[in-house]
Structure 1
Amino acid sequence: MFGLIGHSTSFAAARNLARSLGFEEYAEGDLDMWCSAPPQLVERISVTSPTGKRIEGAYIDSVFVPEMLSRFKTAKRKVLNAMELAQKTGIDITALGGFTSIIFEDFKLLREQQVRATTLDWTRFTTGNTHTAWVLCRQVEENAPKLGIDLHLAKVAVVGATGDIGSAVCRWLSQRTGVQELLLVARRPQPLADLQQELGGGRILPLEEALSEADVVVWVASLAQASSIDPSRLPRPCLMVDGGYPKNLDTRAAGDGIHVLKGGIVEFGSDIGWQMMEAAEMARPQRQMFACFAEAMLLEFEGLHTNFSWGRNNITLEKMDLIGAASLRHGFQALGLDVPAAVPSLSIP
């Protein structure tokens, strides 16, 4: 059995979702009430692979909302309580979606293995980051040519390059895709230097300079609310793969020749019959989902009940190959641009 732990994109969205699911006490409650509310198993799911294998799963709402991020202890408690519920429900492999994986990693919840009478079994959980990294790379490989961008002649910037997903994307693009040049963007200088040494190349640049040169930009870190992009400084055409969370580039990097693609999202080959993605602003919520969620399904399909994605900078190309092959085998497709594919290749001096 697979599990998905998620949350709403905002407090207002969470209250609307609670009302639609019949949780009227949550819909009427204030933020303080939500801070003390326990996680809820809100939906059970059945998914059938094109191979014919059928799996069962459950969606657990952590009852966390982004407005709680400033409440350190609350955020930690929300994630741990949701993990405890997943384990006590008997779920074999559960993906941490949205901010839950970020909270787990950044707040160092590996130190918090005991939740009341439950000792969390880490092998039952995955961040889903390996599948997310593979999907982001596939989105670059499949969609850049649609815009006439030859990746062997292109400069590709990775924003958030030193994170778990970002570093995996850099390894793949460097070793498998053969881009002309990687532009490495992140906040901390030393991890950037370490990554550059590991890759044996790549140019470290501040964000503004990278954007002025990049034909493709893979955003693994979301654009900060206080930040802005000057579209006039971007090359044309430019592919931007918005792999951060929350996704906010489509309205902040608009312009002719700028193509923003929601990154890290996959579409299943048939309707799933769930409600959970209705609140996630998916174009086709019955079929589309975050790649991290799909990783739990894939591990269940493959019978791999283990923390496949765990820790920081542990994603290997071999693991990306494995989860990518499973993704294709079981009917998942990376989200793509709706543009004609027959465009002349971009010539870059």
Structure 2
Amino acid sequence: MFGLIGHSTSFEEARAKARSLGYDEYADGDLDMWCAAPPQLVEKVQVTSRTGKTIQGAYIDSVFVPEMLRRFKTAKRKVLKAMELAQRSGIDITALGGFTSIIFEDMNLLREERVSAVQLDWQRFTTGNTHTAWVVCQQVEENAPKLGIDLAQARVAVVGASGDIGSAVCRWMQRRGVGELLLVARRPQPLVDLQTSLGEGRILDLDEALREADVVVWVASLPQSLQIDTASLRKPCLMIDGGYPKNLDSKAAADGVHVLKGGIVEFWQDIGWQMMEVAEMAKPQRQMFACFAEAMILDFEDIHTNFSWGRNNITLALMDQIGEASRRHGFQALGLEPATSQAHAMAVA
């Protein structure tokens, strides 16, 4: 059995979702009440692979909202209590989605081995980052050529390059043989370490990288205050919004700039669930975050272990493994709308 731990994108959206699910006391409560509220197992689902195998799953809402991020103790407690609920519910492998995996890593929750009377079994949980990194790389490889971008000559900027997903994307792009890697991150020393391990890549600040890049892979959250000078961007430019929340399209809207929601997959058939209705998916019955899909893939494969765990532990071999399984069970990376690539082809002609 697989599990998915998620949360709402905002407090107001959470209250609206609570009302639609019949939790009126949550819908009417203030933020302090939500901070004290326990996680909820809100939905169970049955999913069938393209291979014919059927598995059972559950969605747990951590009752966390981004407005709680500055309340460090609350954020930490929300994630740990949701993990405790997943384990007590007998779930074999659970993916941490959205901010829950970020909180887990940034606050080093591995130190918290016990929650209430439950000894947490880390083997039951995965961040889903390996599958997310693989999906982002597929989105680059499959969509750049549609825009006339030759990856063998292209400059690919990775924003958040020294992070777990970002470093994996860099290693994949290096193996793929892109023209040049542009490395961007907030902290300089991890970037230097990454550059050394790769044996290549140019470290730039964000503005410099944006001016030079044919492809930009964002695997870092965008500050609300960030402004992008779209006039300085190369045209065409493919941008993969692999951060959370996905708000790059509102900051980089311009002719010749193509923004794709990164780290999202589409399943081969509809799933009878409600959980993706509030995640702004174009096809909520089929589309989901790649980190969630990792838990499903691992359950299909009977791999009940923390496949993605810790920082900078993603290998190309693991990406190949989860990618092959992803395709086999009927997942496909989200791509540009056909109209977008057709319009570009006509413009070039």
What TM-score bracket applies, with the shorter chain setting the length? Answer: over 0.9
Question: How many Å separate the matches in 2 of 1:127 and 1:194?
Answer: 23
Question: How many Å separate the matches in 1 of 2:201 and 2:45?
Answer: 43
Question: How many Å separate the matches in 1 of 2:222 and 2:91?
Answer: 34
Q: Which amino acid aligns with 1:118?
A: V
* Residue of structure 1 equivalent to 2:211: 212
* Residue of structure 1 equivalent to 2:332: 333
Q: Which amino acid aligns with 2:280?
A: E
* SS class of match (1:304): coil
Please report how far the alpha carbon of residue 246 of structure 1 lies from its aligned counterpart in structure 2 after TM superposition.
0.3
* Residue of structure 2 equivalent to 1:247: 246
Please report how far the alpha carbon of residue 269 of structure 1 lies from its aligned counterpart in structure 2 after TM superposition.
0.9
* Residue of structure 2 equivalent to 1:165: 165
* Residue of structure 2 equivalent to 1:195: 194
For the Cα contact (< 8 Å) 1:268–1:333, is it kept in 2?
Answer: yes
Q: Across the two proteins, how many residue pairs are aligned to each other?
A: 345
Verify: 1:85 aligned to 2:79, yes or no.
no
For the Cα contact (< 8 Å) 1:133–1:169, is it kept in 2?
Answer: yes
The 4+ residue runs of structure 1 with deviation greater than 3 A are 339-344
* Residue of structure 2 equivalent to 1:259: 258
* SS class of match (1:232): helix
* Residue of structure 2 equivalent to 1:321: 320
Unaligned runs of 5+ in 2: none
Residues 159-182 of structure 1: per-residue CA shift (max 9 Å, x gap): 00000000000000001x110000
Question: How many Å separate the matches in 2 of 1:178 and 1:121?
Answer: 39
* Residue of structure 2 equivalent to 1:61: 61
Please report how far the alpha carbon of residue 52 of structure 1 lies from its aligned counterpart in structure 2 after TM superposition.
0.3
Q: Which amino acid aligns with 2:155?
A: K
Please report how far the alpha carbon of residue 247 of structure 1 lies from its aligned counterpart in structure 2 after TM superposition.
0.6
* Residue of structure 1 equivalent to 2:294: 295
Q: Which amino acid aligns with 2:325?
A: A
**TM-score, length-scaled by structure 2:** 0.97
Question: How many Å separate the matches in 1 of 2:217 and 2:50?
Answer: 30
Residues 115-139 of structure 1: per-residue CA shift (max 9 Å, x gap): 0100000000000000000000000
Please report how far the alpha carbon of residue 251 of structure 1 lies from its aligned counterpart in structure 2 after TM superposition.
1.1
Unaligned runs of 5+ in 1: none
For the Cα contact (< 8 Å) 1:146–1:339, is it kept in 2?
Answer: no
Please report how far the alpha carbon of residue 264 of structure 1 lies from its aligned counterpart in structure 2 after TM superposition.
0.2
Question: How many Å separate the matches in 2 of 1:180 and 1:112?
Answer: 43
Q: Which amino acid aligns with 1:36?
A: A
Identity rate, percent = 77
Please report how far the alpha carbon of residue 339 of structure 1 lies from its aligned counterpart in structure 2 after TM superposition.
3.3
* SS class of match (1:327): helix
Question: How many Å separate the matches in 2 of 1:68 and 1:188?
Answer: 24
* Residue of structure 1 equivalent to 2:102: 102
Question: How many Å separate the matches in 1 of 2:62 and 2:221?
Answer: 22
* SS class of match (1:217): strand
Question: How many Å separate the matches in 2 of 1:9 and 1:189?
Answer: 30
Please report how far the alpha carbon of residue 222 of structure 1 lies from its aligned counterpart in structure 2 after TM superposition.
2.1
Please report how far the alpha carbon of residue 226 of structure 1 lies from its aligned counterpart in structure 2 after TM superposition.
1.1
Question: How many Å separate the matches in 1 of 2:42 and 2:23?
Answer: 10
Question: How many Å separate the matches in 1 of 2:221 and 2:88?
Answer: 33
Question: How many Å separate the matches in 2 of 1:223 and 1:134?
Answer: 21
Please report how far the alpha carbon of residue 100 of structure 1 lies from its aligned counterpart in structure 2 after TM superposition.
0.2
Verify: 1:282 aligned to 2:277, yes or no.
no
* Residue of structure 2 equivalent to 1:4: 4
* Residue of structure 1 equivalent to 2:37: 37
Question: How many Å separate the matches in 1 of 2:9 and 2:316?
Answer: 31
Q: Which amino acid aligns with 2:179?
A: Q
Please report how far the alpha carbon of residue 107 of structure 1 lies from its aligned counterpart in structure 2 after TM superposition.
0.5
* SS class of match (2:134): helix
* SS class of match (1:45): strand
Question: How many Å separate the matches in 2 of 1:339 and 1:146?
Answer: 9
Question: How many Å separate the matches in 1 of 2:132 and 2:241?
Answer: 12
* Residue of structure 1 equivalent to 2:155: 155
Question: How many Å separate the matches in 2 of 1:222 and 1:156?
Answer: 18
Q: Which amino acid aligns with 2:212?
A: E
Question: How many Å separate the matches in 2 of 1:113 and 1:19?
Answer: 34
Please report how far the alpha carbon of residue 227 of structure 1 lies from its aligned counterpart in structure 2 after TM superposition.
1.2
Q: Which amino acid aligns with 1:96?
A: L
Q: Which amino acid aligns with 1:14?
A: A
Please report how far the alpha carbon of residue 223 of structure 1 lies from its aligned counterpart in structure 2 after TM superposition.
1.7
- RMSD over aligned CA atoms reads 1.3
* SS class of match (1:153): coil
* Residue of structure 1 equivalent to 2:303: 304
